[in-house]
């Protein structure tokens, strides 16, 4: 049966009763509380608008938080780097501070969508969308980032390792809560990190596989002190290969180490079969390649 023109996805508009633009965080949280779950936060809107058009989500009101002052900066606070909840991918990708202290995050942020998407899409939104291979979630997970979540009753800090619950689901309730800051330690002298992305094209495409690695090593002694390996989509949530990380503690810097780590890590990965972005088998094989390549590259960047 032919679809009527008005029923095509292309013609569908968003459907909300109210579009609210609070001027302060307190006002925004108050508005959300008043709607008791039937309003939703919108920032860049690059995920929310297509979801609303496709009727994947339905809400009465949108609370646009982009006019809240003081949440759009990238700051250095001692050894920590703090991203405000409204910082965009374009800001991160062009920040000198991020390039010097967290190159892997710059690489991830610069891979999202397209220039137009990166200009409005926020890094906080990338986290809140909860996709298993989000281009900034993976490096931030490897950087052991912590997020601050505000609601009407106050705020709480949650490490990213405890933030993601399932595909598209996090501990944050986007009908009542706002992610206000993302905090992590910049890479130190003995640390190197990298971001790897496997995709069909260089632009405008979701990844088949991404990996972020951070390695802390004593290059003179040739010993790895600790390593963090985050990957996606190899599980329903952004994944930390903790068994491999544990094994790498104190291991010598060598190709044999990287190969053993890759073989071990591959066993942990259970990616989905995707007709568009690779079979489970292929992605598993590539996860092995990426772990080896990622560790080697992270080590090579130490001190550079």
Partner 1 sequence: MNALTLSFTLNGNEVSLHISPNTLLVDLLRDNLRLTGTKAGCRDGECGACTVLLDGTPVNSCILPAAKVQGRSVTTIEGLAHENGQLSEIQEAFIHEGAAQCGFCTPGMIMNSTALLENNPQPDDQEIRQSLSGTLCRCTGYRKIVQAVVTAGEMKKSQG
Tokens standing for 6?
């008005």
Residue 39 or 143: the one with the smaller Cβ distance to partner 1 is: 39
Q: Which stretch binds partner 1 (CB under 8 A): 99-107, 115-123, 266-274, 279-287?
A: 115-123
How far apart CA 41 and CA 32 sit, in angstroms, is 8
Least distance in Å: CB of 115 to partner 1? 5
Q: Which stretch binds partner 1 (CB under 8 A): 6-14, 122-130, 222-230, 261-269?
A: 6-14
* Contact between 165 and partner 1 per CB under 8 A: no
* Contact between 42 and partner 1 per CB under 8 A: yes
Residue 113 or 132: the one with the smaller Cβ distance to partner 1 is: 113
Q: Return all residues near 283 (Cβ < 8 A) that are at least 6 apart.
A: 208, 209, 234, 269, 271
Near partner 1 by CB under 8 A: residue from 27, 33, 38, 66: 66
* Contact between 10 and partner 1 per CB under 8 A: yes
Near partner 1 by CB under 8 A: residue from 29, 46, 191, 283: 46
Least distance in Å: CB of 108 to partner 1? 16
Least distance in Å: CB of 13 to partner 1? 5
Q: For the purposes of burial, counting CB atoms within 10 Å of the CB of 300, is it exposed (0-12), middle (13-18) or buried (19 or more)?
A: middle
Give the interface with partner 1 as residue ranges (CB under 8 A).
10, 13-19, 21, 42, 45-46, 49-50, 53, 62, 64, 66, 90, 113-117, 119-120, 202-204
């Amino acid at each position: 049966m032919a679809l009527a023109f008005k029923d095509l996805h292309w013609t569908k508009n968003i459907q909300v009763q109210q579009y609210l633009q609070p001027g302060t965080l307190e006002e925004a949280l108050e508005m959300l509380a008043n709607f008791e779950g039937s309003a939703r936060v919108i920032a860049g809107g690059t995920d929310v608008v297509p979801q609303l058009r496709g009727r994947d989500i339905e809400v009465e009101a949108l609370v646009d938080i982009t006019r809240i002052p003081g949440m759009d900066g990238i700051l250095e606070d001692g050894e920590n780097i703090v991203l405000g909840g409204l910082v965009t991918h374009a800001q991160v990708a062009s920040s000198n501070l991020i390039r010097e202290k967290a190159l892997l995050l710059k690489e991830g942020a610069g891979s999202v969508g397209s220039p137009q998407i990166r200009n409005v899409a926020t890094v906080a939104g990338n986290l809140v969308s909860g996709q298993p291979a989000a281009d900034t979630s993976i490096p931030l997970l490897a950087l052991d980032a912590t997020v601050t979540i505000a609601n009407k009753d106050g705020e709480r800090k949650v490490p990213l390792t405890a933030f993601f619950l399932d595909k598209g689901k996090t501990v944050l309730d986007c009908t009542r809560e706002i992610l206000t800051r993302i905090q992590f330690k910049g890479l130190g002298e003995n640390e190197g990190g990298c971001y790897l992305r496997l995709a069909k094209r260089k632009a405008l495409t979701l990844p088949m596989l991404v990996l972020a690695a951070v390695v802390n090593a004593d290059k003179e002694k040739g010993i790895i002190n600790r390593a963090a390996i985050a990957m996606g989509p190899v599980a329903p949530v952004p994944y930390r290969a903790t068994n491999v990380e544990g094994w790498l503690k104190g291991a010598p810097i060598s190709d044999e180490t990287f190969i053993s780590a890759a073989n071990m890590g591959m066993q942990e990965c259970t990616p989905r079969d995707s007709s568009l972005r690779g079979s489970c088998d292929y992605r598993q094989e590539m996860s092995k390649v990426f772990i080896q390549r990622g560790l080697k590259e992270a080590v090579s960047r130490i001190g550079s």
